[in-house]
Amino acid sequence: MKKCVFLDRDGTINKYKELLSKKEDLELEETAAAAIKRINDNGYLCIVLTNQPVIARNLCTFDDVLEINEELKRMLYKANRAYLDDVFICPHHPDRGYPEENEEFKVECECRKPKIGMIKEAQKKYEIDLSGSYLIGDTTIDVQTGKNAGLKTILLNTGLKGTDKKFEVRPDLYAENLIGAVELILKEGE
């Protein structure tokens, strides 16, 4: 059984921009590439879980999001030879009523965080030991997702810094940035 560090994308790996829908808008968080390299070098899988309502809102297509993720991977590799083992995307959004919406993706799904569909899929694909794994993110949605899946959770002081306040939930640990979070994980693993 493998251990995994699950990461949120926007506000965790790349700088938070509202409804990011162009690869030109990608900018790495300062410590992200070094942090992911540390995850890679210490025997943990590194898997991204990202809600991308921009697809349901018709601000971009699913293929555009795949391309943004590829660009992000290129940036991480170029910066520090860091790599992501996989990226899981939820393209759905449950609330109808936006003028530009894409009906196909306007559904209640099992993958949109804080639901754990993406984690279950990853667990099956990679045989992950969830109890020894972590979820790192910048919102209370991420923390709630981790709790729902039985993961240890770390909330960052980057991106939205937990100010979304969607859930009354406390993370297991707090960290200033992604490298700070990874150092905490490696310390706990010693």
**Annotation: binding site:** 8, 10, 90, 92, 109, 111, 138
10 is catalytic: yes
Region 91-120 residues binding Zn ion, contact defined as CB under 5 A: 92, 109, 111-112
CA pair distance 101, 96, nearest whole angstrom: 7
Annotated binding site for Mg(2+): which residue ranges?
8, 10, 138
Which one is catalytic: 8, 95, 129, 164? 8
Cα atoms found within 13 Å of the Cα of residue 123, Cβ hemisphere only: 14
8 is catalytic: yes
Which one is catalytic: 10, 63, 129, 142? 10
State which residue has the least CB distance to Zn ion: 109
CB-based contacts of 89, cutoff 8 Å, min separation 6? 50, 52, 62, 65, 66, 69
32 touches 14 (CB < 8 A): yes
Determine, following the binding rule CB under 5 A, whether residue 90 of this chain makes contact with Zn ion: yes
Q: What's the closest the beta carbon of residue 83 comes to Zn ion, in angstroms?
A: 25
Q: What's the closest the beta carbon of residue 1 comes to Zn ion, in angstroms?
A: 26
CA pair distance 3, 173, nearest whole angstrom: 18
CA pair distance 61, 59, nearest whole angstrom: 7
Residues labelled as active-site residues: 8, 10
Contacts to Zn ion by CB under 5 A:
90, 92, 109, 111-112
